[in-house]
Each structure stands twice: as C-alpha cells, then as structure tokens.
Amino acid sequence: MPPPVDDDWSDSDDEVLSEVETSVLLGVPDGCVDVDTDVLDAAVSRIGGFPAFLPSREPSFSSSQCKICSSPMELLVQIWCPFEDSPMDRALYMWGCPRIGCQGKDGSVRAWRGLRYNEKYAVKLKQKLARKREKEKAKADALAADAEKKKNAMKSNPFSMSAASTPNPFGLGAHVFGESSPALTPASVNVPQAEHDDDDEGDDSDAESDSGSSEKSLLIAMASTTIAESPWKAAPSYPPLYLSTASEYLPPQPKAKLPPGVQVIDPSDDDGKSGKDISWAVEPYENSLDMDYVFERFTKRVGYEGEQCVRYELNGTPLPFQSDKVFDTLFPAPATAPLPVTKPDFKVVHAQKRTFDSSAVPPCPVCKSKRVFECQLMPNLINVLRSKDADKAIRLTDEERRKAVERALKGNNANEKRGMEWGTCMVFSCEKDCCLNDAGGGAKDSWREEFVYIQWDV
C-alpha cells in the first residue's frame, strides 16, 4: 500500500492554519437595506439592489449587459474597498446573468472598478504621512544620539572590553519607512476611506475636521449616485441586502496519523550509504480514487463559514472550486523530470504542490500593469439571491403575475428560464489601481472593467 500523499496544490493560507485567523475577509448577508440614504451611498457594500456609482459621470448602461444575450443583468454585489493610503474612493461592482441559455459561457458575469478622487482625504493623507516621517526621523535621531553617547562612554572607560558598540538594529532609521512604496493591501471592506487613520498622537486635533470631511464626502457620494431619470432605474434587480464582513477563522490542521509500520521517507534524507535510491514511484490518490480533491478542499474550507457570499483578499490566493481548465491555468502543474524505466533505478517522486500563478491573467488594458486576485463570489450568494427573488415573486401584483405566466407559456425559451450555475467567480483587478483617461493621462475618476474567471458547477 503506498504511503499517503499531500494535496497536489497549495495556497498561502494553508501554510499558517495553526494561526487560526487567515488574511481573508468574508462577506456575509446582514439584513435588508431599509434606509434610503444607504441605497444611494457608494460606501455601503450590498448584495443585489441598484448600484451607487462613484464616477461623476454615470457609467454607460451597457456595463451591465450580458455579453451573450445582450440583456441587462442584475447587480450581484457592490463592495466598498478603497486601497490603504490611497486618495481614491473605490468600489467594485459585479453583475451576473441568470438566464439558463447564458450559463457556462464567459461574459455572463462581469466586474467593474469605480474610482473617484477624494480631495479632502488626499490633503489629510498627505498631512498624516508628513507626521509619520517626522516621528520616524525624531526616533532615528534619538537612537543615534543614544548610541553615540554609549560609544563615547565606552571609549572613556579603560576597563571596557571593546570600544565598538553593539550594532543598532534600528540603524536604518527613516529609510525603512521613507522612500519605499507602501505595500498593496486592502482596506477593510465596507469601511469608508476617511476612517483609515492610524492612532498617531496629535491626530485628536483632526477629529472634528475628519468628521466634517466624512460627512461631506458622504453627501457628495449620494449626490453623484442618484439613478433617477436614467436607464439604471429601470434595470432588473434583486432586493438589496447589506453585505457585512468578518475575518475567516480556521481550526488548526491535525497532524496526519500513519498506520503501524508505515514510514514516509524523504529522498533528501538519504545519505547514500546504501548505494542506491530506496524509494518507489507511486501513483497519487487523486488518480487512483477518481476523486476531485480540489472540490473536496473547497467544500471543507467553505464549510467553516457556510454563510459566506464573498471572499476578499487583495493580492492573495483564490480558492478554486474544482479541477478544470481554470484551475490548471491558475495553478499549473509543475514540470517534473522524466523517470528512469530500468528496474534498478525505480525512484520515489514526491508530489510537487501546485502553487498559484497569476501570470496567465490578462494585464490591465489601460496601464499594462499585471492584475492581481482581489475577491471571488461564492455559491451561497446564488442561494441568497434565489431566496430573495422568490420573496419578490410572492409580492407580484395580479397583472405582473399574469404577464409572467404568459411569457412562460410562449415556449421553452432559454432566456426566460432563470438560474445561475457557477461555482465561483474570481475577480482580478489592476495592481496599480490605475485612474487614467482614454488618452493615458491622469483623471479624477475612472470606470474600468476587470477580468473574471468563472468556474461552472457542472
């Protein structure tokens, strides 16, 4: 009997399962949106409903059209997700076509990125960064002065064992924080960017101005997102739900227990004393049991929080739904050296883990930067939307119900039958979060389509 083998692919979180909390944010439904101002506020993440746009100019209605049937699609989710230390307000919008005839085809789920320059927050951010640099410089100067004092004291001591001072671990000083670019990390989803402050001393004096800036930004957002008197008002929609976030927690992974007498030997531990390789080439369980371990891993991971509708991890690793072409594209099989076939040279080949590789994702068509994984839609979202759609159908008037019956009796039109059939939809967005106009110059706002990989539930 061959020894157990590990899964043949890995993601970033599996290496730190013992830490319980992962870097993934989970989006879960949190009740109906029943406040009118929230409907118009782009800073309120939602499931279903109408979009609240950030750009000053309303995006073209064609943004929501299915690329298969050209019909307008319902909004699936809108996520407020500004980048940390960025002056841009930012939101993601995802539409999906529920028509049966469009399932299994690319273009039936689309994602867009909306940006708007927040002038008030840009000024505040500049001041915050200036204060941070001043504090780091003062800290570095103090450490340098202290080190110099100790050095002089040791020189004046004839009994000192060494005149050389211990290297200062903080010697880099301001260089650690000075010119280096901030890491690309997501701000907490559904948190207005005006609230992204550190706890620096001296920020208390800005509290009142922060509040005023936030309120004014909210008013501007609501003023610019009104969809009255536009085609968006007549777009199909699901009843809106709040989308709240929670951290993902996983239990520690138990250590594998081997049957008595079974050993797992790593060829790298062979000291060569036996004069020959002591391992065998074994077939992975994935092939012998005809089981999709990717899907099994997906269901196990999602099972820890079954309510999740969205997984968000900017520049992270997606959770693949199953073994298919998308999985092979994003988690390519590693190249393996050919095995010798002569009997004396049989070898054990430890299964190499597949690792996430985003190089196959098309780059941003505007700035040509690479795209990185940002979020993915989860199967429970379909259940939530289906449930709310059914509730909406119950509230139809007699006239609306009669028209629906007439449409159903016209024939087996695939476009009249509804039901989304994807397992997950992975969204990849511009790494630089570019905000450029069509000519390539800087812009105050932007509306750009991002790339979506769809894994279908077939």
The string of pLDDT tens digits covering residues 164-217 is 444 444 444 433 334 444 444 444 455 444 444 444 444 545 545 555 555 555
Confidence of residue 105 (pLDDT cuts 50, 70, 90): very high
Which residue type occupies 99? Answer: R
Confidence of residue 11 (pLDDT cuts 50, 70, 90): low
Is pTM beyond 0.75? Reply is no
Q: Give the pLDDT mean for 15-38.
A: 84
Instruction: Calculate the alpha carbon distances from 8 to 159, 284, 350, 356 in Å.
Output: 62, 9, 10, 12
Residue 264 lies in a domain: no
Predicted local distance difference test score (pLDDT) of residue 193: 43
- The percent helix, strand, coil of the chain (3-state, each to 5) is 30, 20, 50
Predicted local distance difference test score (pLDDT) of residue 440: 80
pLDDT above 70 covers what percent of the chain?
Answer: 61
231-266: b or e for each residue (b if 16 or more CB lie within 10 Å)?
Answer: ebeebebbbbbbbebeebebeeeeeeeeeeeeeeee
Residue 43 lies in a domain: yes
Q: Give the pLDDT mean for 366-393.
A: 88
pLDDT digits (tens, 9 = 90+) for 229-287: 788 988 999 999 999 999 999 988 776 666 665 555 544 444 444 444 433 333 333 43
Asked if pLDDT for residue 375 goes beyond 90, the answer is yes
Predicted local distance difference test score (pLDDT) of residue 165: 46
If one compares 143 and 154, the residue with the highest pLDDT of the two is 143
Which residue type occupies 265? Answer: I
Confidence of residue 121 (pLDDT cuts 50, 70, 90): confident
Residue 176 lies in a domain: no
Residue 10 lies in a domain: no
Measured CA to CA, the distance from residue 232 to residue 320 in angstroms comes to 33
Total number of domains constituting the chain: 1
Predicted local distance difference test score (pLDDT) of residue 315: 96
Predicted local distance difference test score (pLDDT) of residue 402: 67
Residue 193 lies in a domain: no
Measured CA to CA, the distance from residue 129 to residue 197 in angstroms comes to 10
Mean pLDDT across the chain, nearest whole number? 76
For 300, the domain range is: 29-125+233-248+283-335+354-455
Q: Which residues pair with 43 in a beta bridge?
A: none
At 284, list the tokens: 């992975």
Q: How many residues does the chain have?
A: 458
Query: 310-319, 345-354, 409-418: which has the minimum mean pLDDT?
Result: 409-418
Residues 6 or more apart from 408 whose CB is under 8 A from it?
416
Confidence of residue 128 (pLDDT cuts 50, 70, 90): confident
Confidence of residue 98 (pLDDT cuts 50, 70, 90): very high
If one compares 163 and 10, the residue with the highest pLDDT of the two is 10
Asked if pLDDT for residue 450 goes beyond 80, the answer is yes
pLDDT digits (tens, 9 = 90+) for 419-443: 999 999 999 999 999 999 888 888 8
Residue 121 lies in a domain: yes
Highest mean pLDDT among 63-77, 178-192, 343-357: 63-77
Residue 223 lies in a domain: no
Where does residue 266 fall: left (phi above 0), alpha (psi -120 to 50 degrees), or beta otherwise?
beta
Residue 220 lies in a domain: no
Confidence of residue 139 (pLDDT cuts 50, 70, 90): confident
Measured CA to CA, the distance from residue 43 to residue 217 in angstroms comes to 10
Predicted local distance difference test score (pLDDT) of residue 286: 46
C-alpha neighbours within 13 Å on the C-beta side of residue 302:
26
Instruction: Tell me how many helices (H) and strands (E) the chain has.
Output: 8, 10
**Count of CB atoms situated within 10 Å of the CB of 16:** 13
